Amino acid sequence: MRKSVLLVLIVSAVLYVTGCRAPEEPADPLQHFSVLYNNREEHPFSPDWIILDAYEQRRGVALDISLGDDSTYDRFIIEAIEAESPPDIILKVWPDQILEYAHKGLLLPISEYTDRMPYYTEYIVSHDLHEELDRLRLENGKYYILPGYQRGIQVQQWAYRQDLFEQYGLGEPQTYDELLDALVILHEQFPGSTPLTATWGGAHLLSMMGAGYGITSGWSGNRSYDEAADRWEYAPATDACRQMYRFLARSYREGIFDVEHFDQSVDEFLRKITHNEAFLTPTWISSGFDHWNAALAENGFEQARWSPLPVPESTAGLRALPPVGRFRKGLVLPASLRNAPYLDDLLTFIDWAVYSPEGRRLTTWGIEGETYETGAQGIAYLPHMKTIMNPDGEIDIYTTYGLDQLFNLCEDEDLEDLKKPPQIVRFLDASYRNAENLPVDPPLRLSSLDLDMISRIDKPIDTYAQHAALRFITGELDIEQDWDEYLSELERLGYTTLEKIWNAAGQGGE
């Protein structure tokens, strides 16, 4: 049963009558637009959000909000797009989610309407995003998603137990080999430990390590672009992937690789992190490590300290992190709006709410003098506002005002940096300046026929490749002796067909 709730915000005109004076004319009626919103448990939607009043007062717009549970929001997106009467705006959408529906003609080609959106046009120009827009275009040259963007800062980094590395004179490892040697020493000091661990079924670790070998891996996908050869490759079939498996197999033999992390829960991962059982992991570092360090202290390890580790050089000679696309998230509009009499009004509102300086400031910071102030140090929430940075505030910017929720497609750099501890901001700035991220792959304009063929091949071949990866790492398969047979099975499952499709699309061919 669908768990969505239609919440309609109704404002009725109020007539004032005083004495013998004739009643005043009622205000112009509000323009209503329907919206599908991803409702999150930590900040649930409320029809009393003050930002909704601001939209009414500033733009004469009332939003009729349908809710989709954030944990299963993909399903709500599909249901909304396929509905007989879809909502006017579908929020929190990514390009890969909507390709099929764009090809079916169920979505409005946004690129045909940007001349009606001056703030959007200015935003694209001022942030130099034309190349990014090209990534969204299908083979017909159109794009169907209205995008929001962010800086290309990689917040997924390596984290290590800096206190232990310092205590045992291991320094700050500069290469994978140095890192392995250091973890072997720590494993000897703490025999019950699994020094290198992760979560998310191995997908996160393989994504991070794959970057060090110049390929996609794990949850980064199976499609890798070789810039030198100017061709697309199925990453699990590359020699670079073989090199990565060699290093991981060596780590496993040395006893430092936690093979359980392919199946362990987040709770089990956190137990190891906070009980002195793990010393290296890939993670998101935006919020810092105070919570991990505090938990270690509570468990008797008072001087323990997790810290970000500058990306080490792999055994392939690369010092790299996974690429970061500048696309943040987007929204789509149903094709049924093409002939809607209110389409221009809708585009005007979206243009203002998402891309104008006033709309972005309202979305993120709220109302000047009421929720934030600007001064010599820049913009800041008022002291009584409860935020991630000020949990002791009296008025919650999320539950009371609905800030940073609905139309926050575009990154607000001041806010994002304010959310992070200062030392993390400095670390990430250095990583960004050092250009440690792999470049984002060039766009592929795949046809509906391409997508259908790829979908038929992807699941069985990826399932086999993932199982084989674990077997190579644990030694059940020999990386030297069994590799050719592995490649033959990948070929039987269609990896060369995938490469032909990708490369034909990359060249604009059939």
Domain boundaries, the chain: 6-152+326-366+401-411, 155-323+426-510
Q: What CATH architecture is 6-152+326-366+401-411?
A: 3-Layer(aba) Sandwich (3.40)
The confidence score (pLDDT) of residue 458 equals 93
pLDDT of amino acid 1: 37
pLDDT on residue 18: 37
pLDDT given for residue 507 in this prediction: 63
b/e code 446-468 from CB counts within 10 Å (16+ = b): bbeebeebbeebbeebeebbbeb
Q: Could you tell me how many residues make up the chain?
A: 510
Residue ranges of the chain with pLDDT lower than 50?
1-25, 508-510
pLDDT for the residue numbered 218: 92
The pLDDT score that the predictor gives to residue 363 is 94
pLDDT tens-digit map of 365-399: 999 999 999 988 888 899 999 988 888 899 999 99
pLDDT score at 234: 98
CATH no., domain 155-323+426-510:
3.40.190.10
Q: Which of 257, 301, 221 is nearest to 470 (CA)?
A: 257
Tokens of 271: 């137990």
CA distance linking residue 376 with residue 77, whole number of Å:
43
Domain 6-152+326-366+401-411 and domain 155-323+426-510, same fold? Reply is yes
| Cβ contact 503:232 at 8 Å | yes
Q: What is the pLDDT of residue 5?
A: 36
Give the pLDDT of residue 444: 85
The four Cα atoms 274, 220, 435, 243 give a dihedral, to 10 degrees, of 90
- Residue 28: what pLDDT? 56
| The Cα angle at residue 152 between residues 266 and 405, in degrees rounded to 5 | 65
Instruction: Convert the pLDDT of each residue in 40-96 to its tens digit.
Output: 888 899 999 999 999 999 999 999 999 999 889 999 999 999 999 999 999 999 988
Sign of CA dihedral 389, 394, 399, 403: negative
pLDDT at 201 (0 to 100): 85
Residue 160 and residue 310: Cα distance in Å, rounded? 10
